Amino acid sequence: MSGYVIGVDVGGTFTDLVCVGEAGDVLTAKVPSTPADQGIGVLSGIANLADRAAVSVEDLLARTKMIVHGTTVATNTMIEWSGAHTYLLTTRGFRDLIDIRRNYKEAAFDIRLKAPYPIVPRRRRIPITERITETGAVLTPLAEEEVRAAARRLADEGAQAVAICFLFSFLAPEHELRAREIIHEVLPSIHVSLSHEVLPKIREFERLSTTIVDAYVTPKLRGYLTNLERTLAERGYAGDFFIMRSNGGVVDVGRAAESGVQLVASGPAGGVVAASSIGAAVSDRNLLTIDMGGTSADVSLIRDGTPSVSMDSWFSRYRVAVPLVDVTSVGAGGGSIAWIDDGGALRIGPASAGSYPGPACYGRGGTAATVTDANLILGYIGADSFLGGAMALDVEGARRALQAGIADPLGVGVEEAAAAIVRIVNHNMANALRVISIEKGYDVRDFSLMAFGGGGPLHAAALVQELRVRRILVPRGHASVLCALGDVLADIRESRSRGYYARSETVDLPALAQAVTTMVDEADALMGEQARNLRRVVECALEMRYKGQTHEVAVPIGSGLEPTPERWAEVLADFDRLHAQRFSYSRPGAEIEIVGLQVDRFALRAKPEMNGLGRTSQATATSERPVHFPTAAGYVPTPIYSGVELGLGFTARGPLVIEEANTSVVVMPGQRVSLVAGNVYIIEDDR
């Protein structure tokens, strides 16, 4: 191998790496994550890859041309509330917007629900006299002395970051720009997030919340990326270093470090990118995906080969209005802890045993019963084949944990308790998949289920019993490290959005078309040297709504807008159609408003070629063990296959288990599995 490309994904429990060489050879590694400093786990994983390639770390890095990293630093910062000591400067009279939250409450009738953790407590929100009108005119000049006084206070109180959000700054940013200049005169190195740069669009609460999150997470993220880049360089790495953003695209590490809010969903995005690519290879462009790791399960939807992207999401109870691959997470990972609530009901998660001490079966001191312990007891996981045999599991430790924590309190046997844990976690994941599909108007019978992560292939066969999707797809050999593989496959991407108001009946089409073109040029300018010689494509959209509405629909317009009446009529018809698809009704002929523009600019990176299946095989089972299947009402003697022994054309009827290096593929009675070109297991109903 030479000319390596390395993808790195850091999860809550494991750090996954994929290394692809110019000859198409693929190496993978899975090492425990190190939450205190994710860089330690990354370097440990690189050392593991070097061992597998029989070279030193320095030699591996010297021969690597690109590293692409999906990181959960920004994610964990929001979950753990460990971000920067942050202050807010905002227009006088509006510092309480972040608490008002548009009167949104996650549980409307829960009188005990606490307010979100205050990233910026009220005493650290400093009102500034200034005012820009809704037309972009200056109504009240910026009170520069107030900003200087605020800057001195920031210095005195040890501020690490400041968010500046003035009303209508996206129309006239001069007050925010001047405020930053003044703050940097006093504190030259402090991080400042400006709302017109973070989110140059209407809706003051969303802009305020997103800017505050950006200020809160960026210093820690920048410190992590800077340290990791320096450490890699010290070990001999001189290639390109890209970071996966939440929108499913990658950017240069320097660009990524500018805005932490763009990385709050960096980790899960890689898996969705890889799932889309693998689905296309087997002509399956409509996918539901389930990425079950050690801490959580992430579900998403891919329609016509394109991952669903949300432009406005809640993240750790804060509004984040930047493009995120639309991933819904539930506390249903392998390390999710099973527990009994006050009413005597069995619950799963969201608390997780993590990688240390981990599930009880890890033998590292963990005593709580987890999903992994239940899977071991039910036979889905082999005690001697976990992680390719590198880690022996303690079956008796798992049984003791389930006996004490679940079986005895419920008055049932250990096996019944384990089956109940798996049944509930499957139900939780199926509900999450329904939310992103059926509840949004999609017919799941038109979709296949792509299962990956360490736990996805273990549970997918049971999930289809509830969902009735067409079939299950499991990437062979890479299922447990698919997010890292997606990092390798992702293109460079710059997403831009901007407020733009016009009415359908009076719109200036040439001006609208020029505004879109200007945004495309801005995205091009941000792409950096690495994108200079790459082929580029662009996807543009208009954010549109019927007059009087408060929600928009993004209407794709291709690479730009042709300013002709005929093309405009097509755009309006597309809006009516998309509105009907999303909300079940439309109002043809009603006045429509344009409220924003979206541009996604892609620089298409050359994808590394990976070796596929070089032989045909109808291998036989390597062993047999009792496995519990709910459809068989108990344990069934089940053939166990070794995934590395299987080749193109392998097919078999369930029940069976295929053991891969870092996961197991469970096939239930009444199902058939085939291994097809593209290195994909396909599981279908055999009845």
Please say whether the beta carbons of 444 and 438 come within 8 A: yes
Residue 40: Cβ-neighbour burial (10 angstroms; 0-12, 13-18, 19+): middle
Amino acid in position 418: A
Q: How confident is residue 141, by pLDDT bands cut at 50, 70 and 90?
A: very high
Instruction: Count the alpha carbons within 13 Å of 58 in the hemisphere toward its beta carbon.
Output: 3
Asked if the 4-77+223-263 domain carries CATH number 3.30.420.40, the reply is yes
- According to the model, what pLDDT value does residue 128 have? 98
Report the alpha-carbon distance of residue 598 to residue 573 in Å, rounded: 19
Q: Is the pLDDT of residue 311 over 90?
A: no
Q: How confident is residue 621, by pLDDT bands cut at 50, 70 and 90?
A: confident
- According to the model, what pLDDT value does residue 106 have? 83
Joined tokens for residue 507: 């719109």
Please say whether the beta carbons of 657 and 629 come within 8 A: no
Nearest to 415 by CA among 375, 372, 358: 375
What rounded mean pLDDT belongs to the chain?
Answer: 91
Please write the tens of the pLDDT for every residue from 444-473: 999 999 999 889 999 999 998 888 899 999
Q: Whole-prediction pTM value?
A: 0.88
Please say whether the beta carbons of 57 and 46 come within 8 A: yes
Residue 315: Cβ-neighbour burial (10 angstroms; 0-12, 13-18, 19+): buried
**Segment among 11-15, 602-606, 662-666 with least mean pLDDT:** 11-15
Residue whose tokens read 């460990």: 82
Cα distances (angstroms) measured from residue 295 to each of 356, 460, 564, 683: 12, 17, 52, 26
Q: Is the pLDDT of residue 323 over 50?
A: yes
3-class secondary-structure state, position 680: strand
Amino acid in position 179: A
Q: How confident is residue 2, by pLDDT bands cut at 50, 70 and 90?
A: low
Structural element, H or E, at residue 208: helix 204-234
Q: How confident is residue 616, by pLDDT bands cut at 50, 70 and 90?
A: low
Torsion angle, alpha carbons of 172, 174, 176, 181, to 10: 170
Residue whose tokens read 């959580």: 296
- According to the model, what pLDDT value does residue 647 have? 86
Q: How confident is residue 617, by pLDDT bands cut at 50, 70 and 90?
A: low
Please write the tens of the pLDDT for every residue from 87-106: 999 999 999 999 999 888 88
Q: Is the pLDDT of residue 615 over 60?
A: no
Nearest to 394 by CA among 362, 368, 367, 370: 362
- 573-588 b/e (C-beta count within 10 Å ≥ 16 → b): ebbbebbeeeeeebee
Cα distances (angstroms) measured from residue 512 to each of 201, 246, 509, 599: 16, 28, 5, 13
Q: Between residues 317 and 532, which one has the greater pLDDT? A: 317
- According to the model, what pLDDT value does residue 530 have? 75
Cα distances (angstroms) measured from residue 217 to each of 295, 326, 493, 522: 21, 20, 21, 25
- According to the model, what pLDDT value does residue 70 have? 94
* Beta pairing partners, 9: 16, 70
* Kind of pairing between the strands at 64-70 and 4-10: parallel
Would you tell me how many other CB atoms lie within 10 Å of the CB of residue 327?
A: 25
Report the alpha-carbon distance of residue 687 to residue 666 in Å, rounded: 17
Q: Is the pLDDT of residue 477 over 50?
A: yes
Structural element, H or E, at residue 254: helix 253-256
Please say whether the beta carbons of 151 and 128 come within 8 A: no
Name residues whose C-beta falls within 8 Å of residue 418's C-beta, 6 or more positions apart in sequence.
Answer: 373, 374, 375, 377, 378, 402, 628
- According to the model, what pLDDT value does residue 679 have? 86
> Which phi and psi angles does 86 have, rounded to 5°?
-110, 145
Residue whose tokens read 């239940």: 374
What mean pLDDT comes out for the span 576-593?
93
Please say whether the beta carbons of 335 and 352 come within 8 A: yes
Q: How confident is residue 622, by pLDDT bands cut at 50, 70 and 90?
A: confident
Please write the tens of the pLDDT for every residue from 326-359: 888 888 888 999 999 989 999 998 888 877 788 9
Please say whether the beta carbons of 59 and 1 come within 8 A: no
3-class secondary-structure state, position 430: helix
Name residues whose C-beta falls within 8 Å of residue 108's C-beta, 6 or more positions apart in sequence.
Answer: none
Q: Using alpha carbons only, give the angle 640, 645, 648 rounded to the nearest 5 degrees.
A: 110
Report the alpha-carbon distance of residue 51 to residue 207 in Å, rounded: 47
**Segment among 188-202, 223-237, 261-275, 347-361 with least mean pLDDT:** 347-361
Please say whether the beta carbons of 498 and 597 come within 8 A: yes
Q: How confident is residue 109, by pLDDT bands cut at 50, 70 and 90?
A: confident
Please say whether the beta carbons of 131 and 123 come within 8 A: no
Report the alpha-carbon distance of residue 207 to residue 201 in Å, rounded: 7
Would you tell me how many other CB atoms lie within 10 Å of the CB of residue 110?
A: 9
Nearest to 77 by CA among 248, 220, 206: 220
Q: How confident is residue 1, by pLDDT bands cut at 50, 70 and 90?
A: very low
**Segment among 144-153, 286-295, 614-623 with least mean pLDDT:** 614-623
What mean pLDDT comes out for the span 502-507?
94
Name residues whose C-beta falls within 8 Å of residue 79's C-beta, 6 or more positions apart in sequence.
Answer: 316
